[in-house]
C-alpha cells in the first residue's frame, strides 16, 4: 500500500470535464435549531471543487432539489450499496471504477440532470459534493439527528464519518484503538485511512492526525466489525427518546468499548424543560427514586454497558412553545459525551395527552382470589379465598369516542418508518417503528396484507390473545361492546354468551363426563370491571396503568350461579383508537 492514493474516482474527472483539485471541506459545529428543539443544524464550509462530507441529520424533505437548494452545486454522489464500500479502493490498480453502484444528482438546469438517480438524501451517509465557482460557500442542513450507522464492509475500504467532539480533538489512533478491525494492538498499527487533502488527492492519514466531525474518509476494515466509537449509545425507541401518548419510560444504554472506565455526561442543549427524570435503582425491597435529568454524569466501567432509565412526568407538562402549531408537543436535544473526544446528540420528544384520555389498547390481568363455594346441599355461603390466585388475561380497547370493547385477540401491525440510512435509490431498508400503527381483529384484513410487504419486512405483526374470554361473534363483529367508561372511579360491565356450539364451551370438552351424550348447554358470564388507582406504578407511568377489581357471575355451568372476584391491573400498550383501519 503506497502512502498516497491518487484520484480514486477517475471517471468523475472525465465526466465533469474539470481540472480543479479535490478539496476537503471544513466542518462547522453542530448546533440546535431554534424552531424545533429536537432538531439540529449541521453546517459545512464547502470549497470550490470536490468535498467529502458525512451527513448526520435527516432533513424533513429528503428531495435532493430541496436539500441542495441555494448551492452552486455541480453534482452530488453517494455509494448505493447497503454498506459504504467500493471495489476500486480495494484495488487501486484497477483500470476503471464501478460508476453503476454510485447514485448521482445533477441540478435540474444541468444537461446531465436526465441521468440523476439519487432520489433521497439520507442521514448517516457519505456524499461527494462538487461545488462550482471560485468562492467558499456555507451549506446548512437542519433536521433530526440520527444515531444509527451503516454496517462495515469487511476486508475493504469504507467511506465513513465519525461522531467526534469538535471541542475535544481526538486522533485516529486514539479513536480506533478499541477496534480490532481497525487497530492492531500487537504491532500498534492503524489500518490504512485516507482523507481528501487540499491538493486534490486522497492521502494516507498519519495515525496521530486529528479527526474532524462531518468529514468522510476511506477507512480499511479488516474482517467484520460492529465498532461505532470508543463509546456509543442505544435507545429502545430508536433515534429519538420518544415519549408518545403511551410511552412513559425509555431505556438509554451507554456502551463503553474502551479498556478503561469512562465518565459519560448527558446534557440538555435547549432551554425548554422536557420534564425528564432519571429513574435511579434502589436497594432490594425499596422503591426506585427519581431525580430531574438535568446534567447527569454516569461512570461506565471498562468494556461494559450501563442502562439508564429515563421517565417522563407528563402531569407537569405545560403548553409547549417550541412549535406554536403543536402546543402538546415538547421537544429537547441531549448531548452525550465521554469528555475524551466522542459526542452523540439525540432528540427527546414528549407528547402531552389529557389525563382522562384512555383511548387505545389495554392489556392486563384479573387475578381471581375469591370464589363463592357451592356446598353439596343448600344455598351458597360467603366467598372464600383460594390458595393460589388464578390469572385471566384481558384485552380491552377504547375507541376515540370512549366506547370500550372486550377483545378475544388482536394483531398489532408495525410498519417501516423508512429512515434507515442503508440506500438512497428509493428502495429503503425497512426499519420497523417501535409503536404499532394498526390494530387488527378482523382476519380478512390480515389476509389482505401484501405478501411482498410481509416478506420484505415493511410490515410485521404481533398477535395477542385472551383465551379466557371467548364469545360468539356475528359476521364482521370481532369484539364485544361493554357498557361504561374506562377510567378511575368508573366501571364497565358486559355479558359473554357461550353458546352450546362454541368450541370453548366446557360441555364440548372431550373429557367432560357428559361427552358423547350430545348434550351441551349455554353459559352466560356477567363480568364487571371496577377501575381505581394502581397499587404501585413506576415513575411517570401513573396515567397509563389502572388498578381495580374484577367480578364475574356464571350461570349455566352449575345449577346455582357461580361467583368469582379478584384484583385487576391494566396497562395501555397502544394509543391507536381505531380497530381494523384500512
| Domain harbouring 558, CATH code | 2.40.160
Cell of 73: 452545486
In-domain check, residue 457: no
Pinpoint the alpha helices (H) of 363-465: 443-447, 451-456
Q: 375 and 340, same structural domain?
A: no
Q: Rounded to whole angstroms, what are the CA distances from 187 to 194, 204, 225, 260?
A: 20, 18, 19, 20
Domain identity same for 491 and 519: yes
Which of 112, 200, 215, 168 lies closest to 343, judged by CA? 168
For residue 580, being part of any structural domain is answered with no
pTM of the model: 0.64
Domain end (from 331, 351, 371): 351
- pLDDT of the residue at 154: 93
Q: Where does 479-544 show beta strands of DSSP type E?
A: 479-481, 483-484, 491-498, 523-532
Check: CB of residue 511 under 8 Å from CB of residue 530: no
Contacts of 524 (CB under 8 A, 6+ apart): 495, 496, 497, 498, 554, 555, 556
pLDDT digits (tens, 9 = 90+) for 419-448: 444 444 444 455 667 788 899 999 888 888
> Does 175 reside within a domain?
yes
Does residue 418 form part of some domain? no
Give the model's pLDDT for residue 100: 64
Q: Same structural domain for residues 22 and 132?
A: yes
Residue 554 phi/psi, 5° resolution?
-105, 135
Which residue ranges in the chain fall short of pLDDT 50?
Answer: 1-28, 34-36, 82-97, 283-286, 354-355, 419-428
CA distances from 484 to 180, 231, 398, 404 (A): 62, 52, 11, 7
Residue 444 lies in a domain: no
Asked which of 315, 332, 351 is the last residue of a domain, the reply is: 351
**Of 443, 442, 178, whose CA–CA distance to 304 is shortest?**
178
- Shared domain check, 210 and 79: yes
Q: Are residues 84 and 142 in the same domain?
A: yes
Rounded CA separation 399/360 (Å) = 6
Contact 538, 249 (CB under 8 A): yes
- Residue 345 placed within a domain: yes
Gap between the Cα atoms of 198 and 221, Å rounded: 25
> Residue 58 in 3-state DSSP?
strand
Residue 506 is given by DSSP the state: G
Spatial CB neighbours of 261, under 8 Å, sequence gap ≥ 6: 299, 300, 301, 302
Distance set, CA 60 to CA 66, 80, 157, 335 (Å): 10, 21, 31, 21
Residue 447 lies in a domain: no
Same domain, 202 and 346: no
C-beta neighbour count of 209 within 10 angstroms: 17
Cell of 288: 426506585
Same domain, yes or no: 205 and 339:
no
Statement to judge: residues 511 and 381 lie in one domain = yes
First to last CA, the chain: 58
* Domain CATH for 262: 2.60.40.10
Number of domains in the chain: 3
In a domain, 136, yes or no: yes
Domain boundary among 188, 221, 254: 221
- The answer to whether residues 530 and 382 belong to one domain is yes
Rg (CA), the chain: 30
Do residue 285 and residue 251 come from a single domain? yes
Q: Do 150 and 262 have their domain in common?
A: no
Residues 31 and 164 in one domain: yes
Q: In terms of residue numbers, what domain contains 286? A: 231-351
Amino acid at each position: 500500500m503506497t502512502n498516497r492514493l491518487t484520484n480514486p474516482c477517475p471517471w468523475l474527472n472525465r465526466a465533469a470535464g474539470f481540472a480543479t483539485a479535490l478539496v476537503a471541506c471544513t466542518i462547522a459545529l453542530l448546533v440546535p435549531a431554534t424552531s424545533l428543539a429536537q432538531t439540529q443544524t449541521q453546517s459545512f464550509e464547502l470549497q470550490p471543487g470536490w468535498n467529502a462530507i458525512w451527513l448526520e441529520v435527516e432533513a424533513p424533505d429528503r428531495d435532493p432539489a430541496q436539500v441542495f437548494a441555494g448551492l452552486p452545486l455541480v453534482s452530488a454522489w453517494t455509494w448505493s450499496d447497503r454498506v459504504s464500500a467500493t471495489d476500486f479502493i480495494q484495488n487501486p490498480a484497477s483500470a476503471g471504477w464501478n460508476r453503476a453502484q454510485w447514485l448521482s444528482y445533477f441540478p435540474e438546469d444541468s444537461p446531465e440532470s436526465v441521468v440523476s438517480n439519487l432520489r433521497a438524501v439520507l442521514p448517516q451517509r457519505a456524499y461527494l459534493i462538487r461545488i462550482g465557482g471560485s468562492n467558499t460557500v456555507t451549506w446548512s442542513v437542519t433536521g433530526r439527528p440520527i444515531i444509527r450507522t451503516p454496517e462495515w464492509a469487511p476486508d475493504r475500504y469504507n467511506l465513513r464519518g465519525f461522531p467526534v467532539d469538535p471541542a475535544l480533538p481526538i486522533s485516529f489512533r486514539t479513536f480506533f484503538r478499541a477496534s480490532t478491525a481497525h487497530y492492531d494492538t500487537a504491532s500498534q498499527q492503524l489500518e490504512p485511512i485516507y482523507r481528501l487533502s487540499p491538493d486534490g488527492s486522497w492521502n494516507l492519514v498519519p495515525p496521530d492526525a486529528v479527526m474532524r466531525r462531518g468529514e468522510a474518509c476511506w477507512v480499511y476494515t479488516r474482517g467484520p466489525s460492529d465498532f461505532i466509537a470508543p463509546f456509543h449509545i442505544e435507545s429502545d425507541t430508536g433515534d429519538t427518546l420518544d415519549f408518545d401518548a403511551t410511552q412513559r419510560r425509555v431505556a438509554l444504554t451507554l456502551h463503553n468499548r474502551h479498556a478503561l472506565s469512562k465518565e459519560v455526561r448527558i446534557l440538555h442543549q435547549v432551554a425548554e424543560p422536557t420534564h425528564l427524570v432519571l429513574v435511579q435503582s434502589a436497594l432490594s425491597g425499596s422503591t426506585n427514586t427519581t431525580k430531574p435529568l438535568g446534567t447527569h454524569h454516569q461512570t461506565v466501567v471498562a468494556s461494559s454497558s450501563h442502562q439508564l432509565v429515563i421517565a417522563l412526568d407528563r402531569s407537569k407538562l405545560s403548553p409547549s412553545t417550541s412549535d406554536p402549531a403543536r402546543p402538546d408537543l415538547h421537544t429537547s436535544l441531549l448531548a452525550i459525551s465521554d469528555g475524551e473526544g466522542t459526542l452523540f446528540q439525540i432528540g427527546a420528544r414528549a407528547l402531552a395527552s389529557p389525563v382522562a384520555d384512555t383511548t387505545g389498547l389495554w392489556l392486563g390481568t384479573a387475578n381471581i382470589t375469591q370464589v363463592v363455594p357451592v356446598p353439596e346441599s343448600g344455598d351458597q355461603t360467603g366467598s372464600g379465598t383460594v390458595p393460589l390466585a388464578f390469572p385471566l388475561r384481558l384485552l380491552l380497547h377504547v375507541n376515540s369516542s370512549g366506547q370500550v370493547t372486550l377483545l378475544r385477540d388482536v394483531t398489532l401491525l408495525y410498519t417501516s418508518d423508512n429512515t434507515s440510512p442503508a440506500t438512497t435509490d428509493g428502495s429503503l431498508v425497512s426499519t420497523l417503528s417501535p409503536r404499532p400503527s394498526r390494530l387488527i381483529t378482523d382476519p380478512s384484513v390480515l389476509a389482505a396484507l401484501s405478501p411482498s410487504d410481509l416478506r420484505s419486512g415493511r410490515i410485521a405483526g404481533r398477535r395477542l390473545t385472551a383465551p379466557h374470554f371467548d364469545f360468539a361473534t356475528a359476521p364482521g363483529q370481532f369484539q364485544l361492546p361493554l357498557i361504561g367508561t374506562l377510567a378511575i372511579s368508573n366501571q364497565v360491565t358486559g355479558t359473554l354468551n357461550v353458546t352450546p356450539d362454541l368450541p370453548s364451551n366446557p360441555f364440548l370438552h372431550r373429557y367432560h363426563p357428559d361427552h358423547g351424550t350430545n348434550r351441551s348447554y349455554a353459559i352466560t358470564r356477567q363480568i364487571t370491571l371496577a377501575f381505581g388507582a394502581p397499587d404501585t406504578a413506576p415513575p411517570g407511568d401513573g396515567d397509563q396503568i389502572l388498578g381495580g377489581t374484577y367480578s364475574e357471575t356464571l350461570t349455566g355451568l352449575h345449577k346455582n350461579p357461580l361467583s368469582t372476584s379478584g384484583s385487576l391491573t391494566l396497562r395501555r400498550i397502544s394509543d391507536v383508537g381505531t380497530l381494523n383501519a384500512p
